[in-house]
Amino acid sequence: MRLCLVILLFVSGSAFAQKDEVLHRMNRLHRLMEAADASTRSFLHDSLSYGHSNGWVENRQEFQKNLGSYLVYHSIKEDSIQAGVHRKVAHVRFNADIDATLNGTRSLFRLKVLEVWVREGRTWKLFARQATRR
């Protein structure tokens, strides 16, 4: 009985730690996007599908190329964050207020966002993202 309790505590503690790690990676990625920092690459899966609320979809290379030039993120504010982890896959849903300049026009986007993260080795990477207007 004691062994079962120890295993249950370890597994549930591990799940909370994984969720915290994903949320930390998400937050760090968003701050790097605001800074148009090239190190965002280490947060992105090679097969990234990054969907915007206007229907525009970028792969990893396009995302990297457009970040800070065609698309400039001034601020990304998340709230109502919900996250779940299942083995090597995590999903994060949140509402976002994104202040960004797209092709020279600055706007405030109020979005609902879903991000899917996958674990590669010891690191969580953004695999897919889709946004819709609120």
Is the pLDDT reported for residue 8 higher than 60?
Answer: no
Is the pLDDT reported for residue 42 higher than 80?
Answer: yes
pLDDT of residue 11: 47
Per-residue pLDDT tens digits for 109-123: 999 999 999 999 999
d(CA 52, CA 7): 41
Confidence label for 14 from pLDDT (cuts 50, 70 and 90): low
How many helices (H) does the chain have, and how many strands (E)? 2, 6
How are beta strands 123-133 and 89-102 bridged, if at all?
A: unpaired
**DSSP assignments along 48-82, one per residue:** EEEE-TTS-EE-HHHHHHHBTTTEEEEEEEEEEEE
pLDDT of residue 15: 61
